[in-house]
Structure 1
Amino acid sequence: MSDLHIGPASADELGAVLDFWKTAAEGTSISDDLAGVERLHERDPRALLLARRDGELVGTVIAGFDGWRCHLYRLAVHPGHRRRGIGTALLAAAEERFAALGGRRADAMVLDRNERAHPAWEAAGYGPQAQWTRWVKPLG
């Protein structure tokens, strides 16, 4: 995995990230537009982590920290690069970021219907919490 580089996205890469999600991410969100990703980057320029192999964007994860809890969103690996440890490496980088920020617990937004992803999340130690039901309200 030595040819894999993980680091924060730069402002000029945000459009490419949106294009990448159209291919690699399961589903879309109302915040999947340039203005939404720019707000994320402006607020926390180190939250959006990109995985590159030989300069090619092959994976992403948003590792957000609000000062209290750690949140994972948009873990996505290009279909042609899956099952090669990229998702695991992205999660490890996110967890290192959280530890450095003092985070003590991470939660992940994982779609119920994205069943192909569930084993990878479980292998990383994440799992559904029976006592919690996430209720979501789109804003705007």
Structure 2
Amino acid sequence: MIYSREFCWRDYDDVAALWAATGRDVLPRGELTAKLTRDPQLFLVAEVDGVIAGVVLGTYDGRRGWILRLAVDPAHRRQGIATVLVGELEARFTTMGCPRVNLLVMPDSTAALRFWQTLGYLPMPDVLCTKPMGDTSRQPLG
């Protein structure tokens, strides 16, 4: 059974290992600390048999919600974990009064694009622009 809940600090090492296993950069504790002061209820983990098998990081600025860093352990894929996490995150956005949710998909990730379209997310012709702020040795969130 899949159980989703808010991230807590005792999860950090497991979440970091999951991000690494999926080829994602591991967010340092400092970045997560700053994020968790804003909307901690939008950082979710999914457990299967007591093991963290998925994670999603969301944020809401009062105008738009963003889904960031959805990841599912390769050994637990195709079990509905991502769908459960996104569903719970969307419910939390709705409770907060969020009118629209955005996310980014890498252009060569056709499987990810299909997944998001299955959940009702539509591609937009926007152009992503980014600018590192401060310490340029850190990677931007995303």
Give the TM-score normalised by structure 2: 0.86
3-state DSSP of counterpart to 1:138 = coil
Say if 2:127 is the partner of 1:133.
yes
Deviation, structure 1 residue 93: 0.5
Contact 1:6 1:50 in 2 (8 A): yes
In structure 1, what residue type is equivalent to 2:133? Answer: L
Using the alignment, how far apart are the partners of 2:66 and 2:108 within structure 1?
20
3-state DSSP of counterpart to 2:54 = strand
Matches within 5 A, 1:1-140: 3-24=1-22, 26-28=23-25, 32-130=27-125, 132-140=126-134
How high is the sequence identity, in percent, across the aligned residues? 30
In structure 1, what residue type is equivalent to 2:50? Answer: G
| Deviation sequence 1:74-133 (CA, Å, 0-9, x none) | 111111111111111111111100000000100012222333312111101113202x11
Deviation, structure 1 residue 137: 1.3
Superposed structure 1 runs of 4+ greater than 3 Å apart? none
Which segments of 5 or more consecutive residues in structure 2 lack a partner in the other structure?
135-142
State the partner residue of 2:137.
none
- Kindly tell me the number of residue pairs found equivalent between the two proteins: 134
Contact 1:6 1:52 in 2 (8 A): yes
Using the alignment, how far apart are the partners of 1:92 and 1:110 within structure 2?
18
| Deviation sequence 1:40-96 (CA, Å, 0-9, x none) | 123222121100011101111112111111100011111111111111111111110
Deviation, structure 1 residue 4: 0.8
Give the TM-score normalised by structure 1: 0.87
Using the alignment, how far apart are the partners of 1:83 and 1:117 within structure 2?
12
Using the alignment, how far apart are the partners of 1:79 and 1:42 within structure 2?
30
Contact 2:18 2:72 in 1 (8 A): no
Using the alignment, how far apart are the partners of 1:67 and 1:82 within structure 2?
32
In structure 2, what residue type is equivalent to 1:65? Answer: Y
User: Aligned Cα RMSD in Å?
Assistant: 1.6
Question: Are the structure 2 counterparts of residues 33 and 113 from structure 1 closer, same or farther at C-alpha, using a change threshold of 3 Å?
Answer: farther
3-state DSSP of counterpart to 1:96 = helix
